[in-house]
Amino acid sequence: MNKFIVITGGTKGIGRALVLCFAENGFDIITCSRKLADLEVLKEEVEKLYGNKVYIKAADLSKKDDVHSFSEFVLKTTPKVDVLVNNTGVFLPGSIQDEPEGNLEMMMNTNLYSAYHLTRGLLPAILPNKKGHIFSMSSIAGITAYSSGGSYSITKYAMQGFTKCLREELKEEGIRVTAVLPGATYTASWEGVDLPHERFMKAEDVAESVWSAYSLSDRTVVEEIVLRPQLGDI
């Protein structure tokens, strides 16, 4: 029986790279995104390439009800979750003093609260195993303040606090917890930017770093993975 990984936001960018990486390594996948059509394309592609099962559900994780609905979907699909990657996120640049009203609330709901509520909902499928791995997809913006970071940076600093607390709570339960902090990675968030692709990291490199951290023995945990473009932050 294959292991199960839950990856939120699995149709694009780092999420998609994670789906492909773990499927290639024998995992069955449970994932979500807002657009069902994109999920159906991903499911067909992965199952054709690797033969693994891919379970999909359309959900907007900025909405608490959709988070709960997705959590229930996961628990109906499998009683055991081996890996959880809280990957869903949204990036809107701006400064605290003049960004649009509501930016903080919207990004907090998407970037932090979705991870908080989904993790709480899925722990009953993780804790009894006395092993497993939870990854929080944070950002360099969670450890480095910059002038146009605004509410995005606030939410990622909060994600760091969430992940550190979770690590302390779960280490005696055998559950590993890792924060992933990528710098500029070429995803949809950067489309249209007048910079060469080579200036950005590859989403596949982020996925491989997650796989590498997971692949270590249960005696070791990588608490933080910090990745930056070779030429530095953008």
Q: Name the residue among 124, 142, 214, 134 with its Cα closest to residue 182.
A: 142
Domain boundaries, the chain: 4-227
Q: Check pLDDT > 90 for residue 81.
A: yes
Distance CA 132, CA 59 (A): 24
Q: Check pLDDT > 90 for residue 50.
A: yes
Instruction: Specify the CATH class of 4-227 in words.
Output: alpha beta
Mean pLDDT of 111-125: 98
pLDDT in tens, 188-233: 666 667 677 788 999 999 999 999 999 999 999 999 999 999 998 8
Task: Please state, rounded to an integer, the average pLDDT across all residues of the chain.
Answer: 94
Mean pLDDT of 14-42: 97
State the pTM of this model. 0.94
